Amino acid sequence: MELTIKVGLASCGLAAGAGEVYSTIEKYLKKSKIKAELKKTACIGMCFVEPLVEISSENGNTVTYGDVSPENIIELIEAYAKGKPINKNVILSNILEGSENEKLNNQTRIVLRNCGIIDAESIEDYLEKDGYKALEKVVSSMSKKDIIEEIKRSGLRGRGGAGFPTGLKWEFAYRSKSDKKYIICNADEGDPGAFMDRSILEGDPHSILEGMAICAFAIGADEGYIYCRAEYPLALKRLNIAIAQAEEKGFLGKNIFNSDFDLNLHIKEGAGAFVCGEETALMGSIEGERGMPRIRPPFPAQSGLWGKPTNINNVETYANIAWIIMNGADEFTKYGTEKSPGTKVFALAGKIKNSGLIEVPMGIPLKDVIYDVGGGMKTEKPFKGVQLGGPSGGCIPAELLDTIVDYDSINKTGAIMGSGGMVVMDQSTCMVDIAKFFLNFTQNESCGKCTFCRVGTKRMLEILTRITEGNGKIEDLEKLEKLASNIIKGSLCGLGQTAPNPVLTTLRYFKDEYIAHIKDKRCPAGVCTSLLRYEVIENKCIGCTLCARKCPVNCISGEPKKVHYIDQDACIKCGACYDVCKFDAINKS
């Protein structure tokens, strides 16, 4: 019996030690009598149990093990080869009870259909999954108008955040008359806690190339760019491999499928500017200029890259295209809602058990995403809120967990769908501090072109900092709302127009925390150090002296076996005493 052994070698797997696991298996198989093919794959989405190793046999039996190490992997392989797979650390299986079987069944994988399944560096693996058949179909048997109508009928909305209808966007570019047109894939993923695009690029780069090629054929473009940030070295490596393979097979380049359709694709590495995720700033960066937004109109479909008609979609949007062409718009609209059909990929991060990547149908309640698919809270503390849409999004509180995931419903909460980052928070999170964190990010990332964005976000950040330090005033809350309104109205691009969202939503749903910081000089979550106070509880302190020995500034005094005291003027609020006390004798308030 010959085995197939797949090791997840995406960024998350490599960070967890999957490279060492792969090397261990490789060395073992060279000496072993076990017949096995060792293969590389990417992330199946379950980052929380990396490294992941899948072992399967010719009869179709499969077991995926999580939290694998060089020390235990050989035992797992040998047991499987003997027909007695070990029932430990089983994540997914069709013969054993996998801990994540049900959670994976709660997902619908269109974009992630090949991620964690195929070797991303093998075009043969992609072709075995019907890769490039959609491109062959459109080039050989569909007109440009038919392609665009099919995408329009699918209702696919751009997955980069704004949710603009993809087919309509293509139609605008198709109707623009020009001797030259471009396509661009926006892979400049920069939201804290978001890694959807990176995982797709690392796990299934050919699906992006095929989607881009179909778009190029439909609008009449012959050249395109993938704008990917340089901080994604593995994604860039696999993109370069995929482009070279596609060119060699004739799926890119001249006379694709023996037609007059030509397409050359290039990679542009971004330097990490968050503002370059905005399409006009991105185009400026490709052109060699500083990435700064431009006034619209004209829109890219009329005048984009180097003044030529240009279509821009993000990674997830393009990854849907080949599936829609092969399966049809009607099949796509079976998932999701009337105004938001299809599925959505989310990156789950924060205080959640199953951190990683998921893909669910639009219309699913947030509660089901967090508890049924995400596994619920990682800590014993209750759910408090979820930041949806990154720095441009907002915080949705526990009382709105029945909100369904679609563009309109999420927008009504004050948040936005964004590209799909979800940061889950429990009761230990200070919402004022969270608002300050995200505003600090957008303030640093502002290109500075618009005065309201450049200066207004700075003023808002100063106010939030004062509040978290205990120097805020009630009138500051009104100032924050007024500044937010002016920034939204006075900013040219989406960065400034959405930068106040985390502040506005936390003010809307967690105003009591702001008031506690201002009036009571207290941080209810115990996060803002300037408002913390550590005190010894006299009837619990036994005088073990451990807190005094661990205090970095020697502000705790007392004799052995007697009650100790903390000098409040000297205390730096580091929490070392609280962390080391074994008798719960330190009160943090």
Q: What pLDDT, on the 0 to 100 scale, is given for residue 457? A: 95
Which positions ≥6 away from 22 have C-beta within 8 Å?
7, 9, 38, 40
What residue segments make up the domains of the chain, in order of their start? 3-105, 123-332, 343-426, 431-519, 532-588
Residue 75 clears pLDDT 90, i.e. is over it = yes
CATH topology of domain 532-588: Alpha-Beta Plaits (3.30.70)
pLDDT at 229: 93
- Distance between CA 472 and CA 376 in Å, rounded? 35
Query: What does the pLDDT read at residue 346?
Result: 95
High-pLDDT (> 70) share of the chain, %? 100
Sorting pLDDT into bands at 50, 70 and 90, what band is 218? very high
Q: Does domain 431-519 have CATH number 1.20.1440.230?
A: yes
- The pLDDT of residue 550 is above 90: yes
Give yes or no for residue 1 having a pLDDT over 80: no
- pTM equals 0.92
Partners of 185 in the β-ladder: 226, 313
Architecture per CATH, 123-332: 3-Layer(aba) Sandwich (3.40)
What are the tens digits of pLDDT across the range 159-193?
Answer: 987 889 999 999 999 999 999 999 999 999 988 88
Nearest to 356 by CA among 1, 11, 2, 5: 11
pLDDT at 546 over 80: yes
Mean pLDDT for 424-440 is: 95
pLDDT band, very low/low/confident/very high, at 287 (cuts 50, 70, 90): very high
Give whole-number Cα distances, 281 to 226, 227, 305, 382, in Å: 14, 11, 11, 41
The pLDDT score that the predictor gives to residue 106 is: 85
Query: What is the side-by-side strand order in the sheet with 356-361?
Result: 356-361, 343-350, 421-426, 383-388, 394-397
Residue 500 preceded by cis peptide, ω within 30:
no
Candidates 3.40.50.720, 3.40.30.10, 3.30.1490.20, 3.40.630.190; CATH matching 3-105: 3.40.30.10
191 phi, psi to nearest 5 deg: -65, 135
Spatial strand order of the sheet with 62-65 comes to 36-41, 3-8, 53-57, 62-65, 90-93
Instruction: Return d(Cα 125, Cα 461) in angstroms, integer.
Output: 49
- Residues 226-278 have pLDDT tens digits of 999 999 999 999 999 999 999 999 999 999 999 999 999 999 999 989 899 99
Which tokens belong to 397? Answer: 């509180």
Length reported for the chain = 589
Q: Is the pLDDT of residue 120 over 90?
A: yes
Q: Which fold has domain 343-426?
A: Ubiquitin-like (UB roll) (3.10.20)
Kindly give the interhelix angle for 205-219 and 196-203, rounded to the nearest 10 degrees. 100
